[in-house]
């Protein structure tokens, strides 16, 4: 049956430890796929448990087989790590722009229902904005307490776009403490190295100690493959040039 809004579905609400600090981590399929890759890696590396999902307005036309069954577009995972309730919203696709306000409201409902105190967002930032050797930039809502992050703040005048921007604006409006981390990335790539930067930053802020070696190894394999392809194309161009002289 067709609906006209996103709906929060929690079936393991009581699993969240009531007296622990609770944080939410999420991101989307933006530049470099960094937000999605970061969330997916944390779910896998921390062995997190599925506790619910945000049901989309329309029946999705894709799924995958996971350890817990068939996947949904916007899944909610949980694990208590070192006394912190870590909630990850894994967005396998971006929310439908037509129902974006409804999706944002579902995230707000999630924050209220699980008494989430802080939100950590991850996106990608176009490499062309880099001014030095910094790996990322960041931005926070006014409600977020002062935090020691020594990398440069977000680029003044540049735009944050998409569902991450919508969440940031709503969190600012509702005085919800939130930080968004933006590792530099090539916009058209799938950037595991940038995701490794995001996981490292979140681990340091929250004290989670998430190993990023698998992301680095995967990034190196992708880079080696891309180099091999470029060399093969260059050799082909050279051979064609010789044939036409």
Check whether 232 has a pLDDT greater than 70.
no
Average pLDDT over every residue of 27-36: 94
- Of residues 16 and 77, the one with the higher pLDDT is 77
Check whether 243 has a pLDDT greater than 60.
no
Distance CA(58)–CA(2), nearest Å, equals 6
Check whether 218 has a pLDDT greater than 90.
no
Distance CA(59)–CA(105), nearest Å, equals 19
DSSP 108: H
Determine the length of the chain: 245
Distance CA(92)–CA(37), nearest Å, equals 9
Q: Crossing angle of helices 192-206/34-45, nearest 10°?
A: 60
Segments in 114-244 forming alpha helices (H): 163-173, 192-206, 213-243
Query: For the segment 102-136, what is each residue's pLDDT rounded down to a tens digit?
Result: 999 999 999 999 999 999 999 999 998 898 899 99
Cα 189 from chain centre: 15
Lookup: tokens for 168: 């940031």
Q: Which residues contact 45 (CB under 8 A, 6 or more apart)?
A: 199, 210, 211, 214
Average pLDDT over every residue of 197-212: 94
Query: For the segment 35-86, what is each residue's pLDDT rounded down to a tens digit?
Result: 999 999 999 999 999 999 999 999 889 999 999 899 999 999 999 999 999 9
Kindly tell me the burial class for residue 236, based on how many C-beta atoms sit within 10 Å of its own C-beta (0-12, 13-18, 19 or more): exposed
User: pLDDT band at 147, cuts 50/70/90?
Assistant: confident
Q: What is the largest CA-CA distance in the chain?
A: 76
Lookup: tokens for 148: 């020691």
- Whole-Å CA distances, 128 to 77, 151, 198, 223: 34, 16, 18, 20
Query: For the segment 151-196, what is each residue's pLDDT rounded down to a tens digit?
Result: 999 988 889 999 999 999 999 999 999 999 999 998 888 899 999 9
Check whether 239 has a pLDDT greater than 60.
no
């Amino acid at each position: 049956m067709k609906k006209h809004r996103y709906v929060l579905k929690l079936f393991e609400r009581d699993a969240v430890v009531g007296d622990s600090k609770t944080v939410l981590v999420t991101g989307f399929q933006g530049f470099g796929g960094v937000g999605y890759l970061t969330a997916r890696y944390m779910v896998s590396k921390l062995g997190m448990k599925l506790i619910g999902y945000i049901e989309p307005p329309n029946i999705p036309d894709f799924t995958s087989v996971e350890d817990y069954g068939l996947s949904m577009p916007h899944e909610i995972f949980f694990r208590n790590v070192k006394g912190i309730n870590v909630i990850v919203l894994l967005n396998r696709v971006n929310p439908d722009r037509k129902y974006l306000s409804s999706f944002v409201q579902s995230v707000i409902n999630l924050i209220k229902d699980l008494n989430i105190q802080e939100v950590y967002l991850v996106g990608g930032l176009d490499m062309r904005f880099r001014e030095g050797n910094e790996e990322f930039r960041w931005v926070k809502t006014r409600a977020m307490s002062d935090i020691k992050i020594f990398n440069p703040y977000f680029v003044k005048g540049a735009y944050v776009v998409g569902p991450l921007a919508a969440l940031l604006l709503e969190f600012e409006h509702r005085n919800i403490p939130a930080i968004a981390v933006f590792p530099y990335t090539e916009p058209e790539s799938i950037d595991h190295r940038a995701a490794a930067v995001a996981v490292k930053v979140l681990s340091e802020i929250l004290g989670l100690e998430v190993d990023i070696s698998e992301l680095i190894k995967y990034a190196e394999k992708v880079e080696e493959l891309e180099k091999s392809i470029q060399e093969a194309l260059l050799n082909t161009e050279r051979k064609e040039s010789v044939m036409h002289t």
